[in-house]
Amino acid sequence: MCGIYGYTGYRNAVKIAIEGLKKLEYRGYDSAGIAVLEDGTITFAKQRGKVAELEAVSNTLSNDARVAIAHTRWATHGKPSEINAHPHLDTGNTLALVHNGIIENHNELRSMLQQKGVKFVSDTDTEVVAHLVSHFYSGNLLEAIRESLKLLRGAFSIALIHRDMPGQIVAFAHQAPLAVGLGKDEAFVSSDPNIFSPYTREVLYIGNGEIVVAHKDKIELFNANLERIDRKLETLTSISSDVSKGDFAHYTLKEIFEQPTSLLAAINGHFINEYGTANFQGLTLSSSDLLSVQRILILACGTSWHAGFLATYLLEDLARIPTQVEISSEYRYKNPVVVPGTLVIAISQSGETADTIAAVRELKAKGAWILAICNVESSTLTREADNTLYLHAGPEIGVCSTKAFTSQFVVLALFALQMARMRHLSKIEGQEFLNAINALPNQVAKVLDIAPGIAQLAKKYAHFDNFFFLGRRYMYPTAMEGALKLKEISYINANAYAAGEMKHGPIALISDNCPTVAFCANKQTYEKFISNLMEVKARSGPILAIAEEGCEGLEGIADDVIIVPKTLDELAAIPSSVAAQLFAYYIALCRGADIDQPRNLAKSVTVE
Ligand code: AGP
């Protein structure tokens, strides 16, 4: 997944492009580059590493250039390097282009072009497109792109400048996000419309096979047959707010500490105390539709999948609705059976995860109704879904998801409460559950208060290279999420298991060199879980327990204990997850990892 950006207008195009790339780094940060068009000549700069590295060398480009395309990369084909960084040009430097996505038949096209004498300089799939368009070009760029599109396979969005088309950016897409913004005497092309929203909120979304020509004062849109399309501009409802780290060392820590506020944003206005139920104004499903729901299918990836996994317990326990959660990258290749009465919930913080979007499109094709839970307005998923519940958590910049996870789960908990109260849950029971939800922000604040103690503990465990994370019931998905945090930001091998599974093999790995983080906050299975921990202890495995205030029986078993506020089993994932987030953060800090932008990762996985 990568971020592409383009500008044509009256401003310093290099400056605008660098500014845009910095906001697009969530889509990848292996390398970055810019190409500018001025007086019929294309010049470029590209650099391995983050946008800051590119900015340091961008002074080689003209400040008078008013047209630029730019790119920040997450490597798919060809290792992160300067030569593989975008933009890529054809042999005669007549055109330059930047690309997000994957050209699946790039090898076949590369061979075809090489047989025609084309010399390649990079290992990327993208360079194939530059030479292909150039190969077909004989004076009409749109014709050349149309011929190229007939041969290209895969999911891609591409922005291109050509020396024969001054002041213009030509862009095209297939199964990948691409938006064009038109301001006053300036236009923008971007993978994400929020990036240019401070300049204009008038946006056009490019559909599959469509070609757009962006001029500073107009946008021309064509279909694959080069017939003009007259499509109205839409108005973005959100303006991307410039976020800073404030006094925090990392965005990740800032976002961990924002959770009392982000949880309030997820809760406030979404419940009715008097009736002990939830109420989402944005939910367009009618009460009869909601009552007709017989089963729920949840689709997601990564941390969002963990929130979905937790929700399966909650929707079955509270609302008595059979619920399954599927990993999007697997599900998209199934031949799903959509039975009447199925509600599909797609969870995605970014709303740009390619696998989740692909799975949703497959289910829509089968007639399913899609409810999205998302944190980014105008993202691709929100435009594919029939309805979206927003987290309102604010931009999440740290690659590892923290506040979005806890907000996802709280939105799902409120939705489960609404479904439960429509079925069998009494008003009193509903009000008790609501009270527990409303207590969460303060309970999370209490966990944040013990951050210094968790930081101390992290120093004791930071040298281990392998961990187990164990839990039962709601603590099992919680353990999975805690393990993912540690993997992502400290590069430690952390394996999560349902505690009851340990004796079926994994316990063979327990040793004094492999500590266990034990998620104890499940009253229903607490005694059983203590027995599991004794099995670990008997094999010299160090144990760090995350347990609720007032719990007993950990003495002599856990080497260390992090105490979190007590809540319902159904909601215990929230305080325990925040403790695990802090633990992972401080271990990563001890190990000097790149916490906000860990190696090999990107905030939004827009390729499959
Ligand atoms: C979580 O810390 C990771 N960054 C990753 O697993 C993420 O949750 C996953 O890629 C899904 O992203 P989404 O929520 O934007 O769809």
In this predicted model, what pLDDT tens digit does every residue of 138-191 receive, in sequence order? 999 999 999 999 999 998 999 999 999 999 999 999 988 899 999 999 999 999
pLDDT per residue as tens digits for the range 486-498: 999 999 999 999 9
Residue nearest to ligand 1 atom 9, measured at CA? 302
Mean pLDDT for the chain? 94
Distance of CA 408 to the CA centre of its chain: 13
- The pLDDT assigned to 71 comes to 96
Structure tokens at 513: 């060199």
- The pLDDT assigned to 242 comes to 65
Residue % of the chain over a pLDDT of 90: 84
Question: Cβ(17)–Cβ(44) under 8 Å?
Answer: no
CA gap 528, 7 in Å, rounded: 61
Once rounded to an integer, what is the mean pLDDT over residues 557-569? 98
Query: How many Å lie between the centroid of ligand 1 and the Cα of residue 348?
Result: 7
Residue % of the chain over a pLDDT of 70: 99
- Residue 241 pLDDT level (bands cut at 50, 70, 90): low
- Residue 78 pLDDT level (bands cut at 50, 70, 90): confident
Give the position, in ligand 1's atom list, of the atom nearest the Cα of 356: 16
Question: Cβ(607)–Cβ(27) under 8 Å?
Answer: no
- Structural domain spans, the chain: 3-235, 245-442, 450-608
Give the position, in ligand 1's atom list, of the atom nearest the Cα of 488: 2
- The pLDDT assigned to 359 comes to 93
pLDDT per residue as tens digits for the range 213-229: 999 999 999 999 999 99
Once rounded to an integer, what is the mean pLDDT over residues 27-46? 93
DSSP characters over 496-518: EEEGGGGGGTGGGG-BTTB-EEE
- Residue 211 pLDDT level (bands cut at 50, 70, 90): very high
- The pLDDT assigned to 82 comes to 85
2 is known as an active-site residue = yes
Q: Among 29, 325, 487, 605, which residue has the most ligand 1 atoms within 8 Å of its CB, making it the best to mutate? A: 605
Q: Among 27, 328, 349, which residue has the most ligand 1 atoms within 8 Å of its CB, making it the best to mutate? A: 349
Q: Do domains 245-442 and 450-608 have the same CATH topology?
A: yes
- Residue 240 pLDDT level (bands cut at 50, 70, 90): low
Determine which of 376-385, 413-422, 448-457 has the lowest per-residue pLDDT on average.
376-385
Question: Cβ(350)–Cβ(373) under 8 Å?
Answer: no
Q: Among 25, 252, 303, which residue has the most ligand 1 atoms within 8 Å of its CB, making it the best to mutate? A: 303
Helix (H, G, I), strand (E, B) or coil at 563: strand
Helix (H, G, I), strand (E, B) or coil at 290: helix
Specify the CATH number for 3-235; select among 2.40.50.180, 3.30.499.10, 2.30.42.10, 3.60.20.10. 3.60.20.10
CA gap 236, 73 in Å, rounded: 26
Task: Determine which one of 50, 216, 254, 603 is catalytic.
Answer: 603
Residues with CB under 6 A from ligand 1: 301-304, 348-350, 353, 356, 399-401, 484, 488, 604-605
- Residue 516 pLDDT level (bands cut at 50, 70, 90): very high
Query: How many Å lie between the centroid of ligand 1 and the Cα of residue 422?
Result: 32
Query: How many Å lie between the centroid of ligand 1 and the Cα of residue 74?
Result: 15
User: How many helices and strands in the chain, by DSSP H and E?
Assistant: 18, 26
Once rounded to an integer, what is the mean pLDDT over residues 387-395? 93
**Beta-strand pair 369-374/342-348:** parallel
CA gap 360, 279 in Å, rounded: 25
Residue nearest to ligand 1 atom 7, measured at CA? 302
CA gap 123, 130 in Å, rounded: 13
Q: Among 353, 384, 402, 488, which residue has the most ligand 1 atoms within 8 Å of its CB, making it the best to mutate? A: 353
Query: How many Å lie between the centroid of ligand 1 and the Cα of residue 456?
Result: 28
- Residue 94 pLDDT level (bands cut at 50, 70, 90): very high
Query: How many Å lie between the centroid of ligand 1 and the Cα of residue 351?
Result: 10
How many residues make up the chain in this entry?
Answer: 608
- The pLDDT assigned to 54 comes to 92
Superfamily of domain 450-608: Glucose-6-phosphate isomerase like protein; domain 1 (3.40.50.10490)
CA gap 600, 488 in Å, rounded: 10
Question: Cβ(343)–Cβ(322) under 8 Å?
Answer: no
Residue 433: partners with Cβ closer than 8 Å, 6 or more residues away: 276, 318, 417, 420, 425, 568, 570
pLDDT at 246 over 90: no
Q: What pTM was estimated for this model as a whole?
A: 0.82
- The pLDDT assigned to 239 comes to 66
Residue nearest to ligand 1 atom 6, measured at CA? 302
Residue nearest to ligand 1 atom 5, measured at CA? 302
- The pLDDT assigned to 436 comes to 98
pLDDT at 244 over 80: no
603 is known as an active-site residue = yes
Helix (H, G, I), strand (E, B) or coil at 354: helix
Superfamily of domain 245-442: Glucose-6-phosphate isomerase like protein; domain 1 (3.40.50.10490)
- The pLDDT assigned to 300 comes to 98
Query: How many Å lie between the centroid of ligand 1 and the Cα of residue 560?
Result: 30
- The pLDDT assigned to 163 comes to 97
- Residue 1 pLDDT level (bands cut at 50, 70, 90): low
CA gap 63, 51 in Å, rounded: 18
CA gap 388, 495 in Å, rounded: 33
Q: Which strands, in side-by-side order, build the sheet including 369-374?
A: 323-327, 295-300, 342-348, 369-374, 387-390
pLDDT at 238 over 70: no
Task: Determine which one of 2, 301, 374, 400 is catalytic.
Answer: 2
pLDDT at 455 over 80: yes
Query: How many Å lie between the centroid of ligand 1 and the Cα of residue 304?
Result: 6
pLDDT per residue as tens digits for the range 280-290: 988 888 999 99
- Residue 605 pLDDT level (bands cut at 50, 70, 90): confident
Which one has a higher pLDDT value, 101 or 213? 213
